[in-house]
Amino acid sequence: MESVKITINGMTCMHCVKAVEVELSELQVNVLGVKIGSAEVRFDPAKVKKSEIEDAVKNAGYEVVSIEELKG
């Protein structure tokens, strides 16, 4: 399993948070948390690609600034 923090541009409210949560929940990922400006997810790289996670955020209407691996 891999955990990543996604930095997201354009989120301004709790509606934005919910929109990202909904899109991420469509993937085979464990959403660890979403807040304004970022999200943390855990996933199996054999089942889900980082590009799919990025696409989910884009489908919610936001821009992915970065995806960085979380250690530990």
Tokens of 28: 């085979």
Each residue of 15-29: pLDDT tens digit? 999 999 999 999 999
CA distance 30 to 44: 9
| CB-CB contact of 10 with 59 (8 Å) | no
CATH code (residue 13) = 3.30.70.100
CA distance 71 to 55: 23
Give the count of beta carbons closer than 10 Å to the beta carbon of residue 29: 22
43: containing domain = 2-69
Give the global pTM: 0.91
Number of domains in the chain: 1
Each residue of 4-57: pLDDT tens digit? 999 999 999 999 999 999 999 999 999 999 999 999 999 999 999 999 999 999
Predicted local distance difference test score (pLDDT) of residue 72: 66
What's the distance, Cα to Cα, between the start and end of the chain in Å?
11
Could you tell me where the DSSP H helices lie in 1-72?
A: 14-25, 50-59
